Amino acid sequence: GDSVTQMEGPVTLSEEAFLTINCTYTATGYPSLFWYVQYPGEGLQLLLKATKADDKGSNKGFEATYRKETTSFHLEKGSVQVSDSAVYFCALSEAGGGADGLTFGKGTHLIIQP
Amino acid sequence: SQTIHQWPATLVQPVGSPLSLECTVEGTSNPNLYWYRQAAGRGLQLLFYSVGIGQISSEVPQNLSASRPQDRQFILSSKKLLLSDSGFYLCAWSVSRAYSPLHFGNGTRLTVT
């Protein structure tokens, strides 16, 4: 079946550092890929998405490129802020998966220190 | 624009008591609806999903049930809560189309004492 693997953390960085959160996936077909962010005590918010190979999703300074050859969708940001502290989830959706939602990774807890 | 409302935000219930969590979506028709649970420090577990009124699919056998009495209303229930039911419950919706993202509510923090 489909699966998503991401580092669980916590990942601790200093403000203005470069961020990479790795995400790799296993899928039988050609999925769409997503990154979600969850701030403390809140629901998940869609951060960015990509629907085909070499697409780059971007939002709020975050970027991720759909790499079919390496089955990866790593999240990057050039200069993180304390307000970026949150849990980040990588997820995929396959058309053949029916209506049963997305397949999520276990989430990466990011802590940014001032 | 579409919005999703989930309530209550927090709930403390004794073991053995009933549960009812409600979720409604506005601004869209015939959405797919979902209930997820997030245990402390862990990932997301899909509990139920629904593609239409009265149509419920269960992913994990457990002490919980779901119902969809109206197109944009999704209810999570239990007759008798267990300690293990504690967690953060998230409702979500998506359009009924392949590759669609999920849109989440703000969640309900349930503590069973």
pLDDT digits (tens, 9 = 90+) for A22-39: 999 999 888 999 999 999
Beta-sheet pairing, A3-6 with A23-26: antiparallel
A89 and B43 in contact by Cβ < 8 A? yes
SS3 content of chain A, % helix, strand, coil (to 5): 5, 50, 45
Which residue of A42, A46, A106 is in closest CB contact with B101?
A46
- Amino acid at residue number A55: D
> Does A59 have pLDDT greater than 80?
yes
| pLDDT in the model for residue A74 | 98
- B interface with A, Cβ–Cβ < 8 A, is 6, 32, 34, 36, 42-44, 46, 49, 51, 57, 59, 90, 92, 94, 96, 98-107, 109
Residue B113 near residue B17, CB atoms below 8 Å: no
B59 and A100 in contact by Cβ < 8 A? yes
Instruction: Give pLDDT tens digits for B35-92.
Output: 999 987 678 889 999 999 999 998 876 789 999 999 999 999 999 999 999 999 999 9
CA angle B84, A107, B7 (to 5 degrees): 55
> Does B14 have pLDDT greater than 90?
yes
